[in-house]
Amino acid sequence: MSPEHVDLLPSKKTNKEMSRRDFVHKSSGALISSAVFAGGAIGSLGVAGAATKPTEASLEGRIYKTLKIGMVKVPGSLTEKFAAAKEAGFAGIEMNSPGMDVAATRLAIEESGLPVDGTVCSTHWNKTHTSADKNVRAEALRDLQTAIRDTHAVGGNTALLVVGHGKDGPESEIWPRALENISKALPLCAELGVYIAIENVWNRFLYDHDGDHLQTADKFVKFVDDLNSPWVGMQFDIGNHWKYGSMGDWIRSLGKRVVKLDLKGYSRAKNNWVKEIGTGDIDWADVRKALLEINYYGWAAAEVGGGDLARLKQISGNMDRVFGLSSK
């Protein structure tokens, strides 16, 4: 896994005045009970197929498991890939856009009963909103708008975005550039009811890449707030910044700005990513407590090395354990 690129893989209109809290925490239950669970109940088997008992700080009934489409290494059609993810215990799947075949994706949703909960903007590492080149920024905006439209077209509600990169200049320059460019997409977000979900990644922006493990999420909080829109939040990656700070405390600081989760594992002792969610030394007990404190209900996306059906079931079971979910 490249430390500079921790993104392993790259509907309906809603009221423009609906708040982030209203949309995520009120409508997610209805969304899950209808579209998501039309084809089956939430939950999965662990690696050995044994039931996992809820922990003291369980997120039972609050977490809806999803994963990145690139993790599904099952041969066959898109429908067969969706069906495998569903069989493994996932309640949704994330696609990549630009580049998504909308018609094929809609067919896979219909045939498998597995919804698409969101997309990952597939070009955000190469076409940055922080670029000094206005033409690159224009391309980044067009691709983000494509991701928003594609997400809406397949019934999802988030377009994950890496907002830029520190290589594009000093923070005093790239911060306002990113704000200006991303703001141009906000009217479309409001029209279609799709969030821009900013992911915290190793992009040398909004944290000190050469700093210690005592850093806070304060810059991420300020950046989201500077965009000043109910259609912008964080797809907070539990693991990406464990090297730099406490994931539980970052969740507490971000609060209702967290509209979705990504997760992976990291070991400070080894100074590296770990293969399995739940290994490494992330304080998952504190993460669960923090998510309960901010009253989080919503999607959590695995972002680790994928594989065949057995591997997907293993990942699903690992997610059950770290969140204190019972396997069904």
pLDDT tens digits for range 88-125:
999 999 999 999 999 999 999 999 999 999 999 999 99
CA dist 265 and 242 (Å) reads: 9
Please, what are the averages of pLDDT over each run of 10 residues along the chain (328 residues)?
Answer: 40 40 39 34 30 63 98 98 98 98 98 98 98 98 98 98 98 98 98 98 98 98 98 98 98 98 95 95 96 98 98 98 86
The CATH number that domain 20-323 falls under is 3.20.20.150
**215, 208 contact by CB (below 8 A):** yes
pLDDT tens digits for range 313-324:
999 999 999 999
Contacts of 254 (CB under 8 A, 6+ apart): 217, 220, 221, 224, 234, 236, 294
Q: What is the DSSP letter of 202?
A: S
Domain ranges for the chain, please list them. 20-323
Please give the pLDDT value at position 22.
44
Please give the pLDDT value at position 216.
98
Please give the pLDDT value at position 49.
33
CA dist 227 and 64 (Å) reads: 27
Please give the pLDDT value at position 46.
28
As a residue count, the chain comes to 328
Handedness of CA 74, 76, 79, 83 (dihedral sign): negative
Please give the pLDDT value at position 56.
63
**172, 130 contact by CB (below 8 A):** no
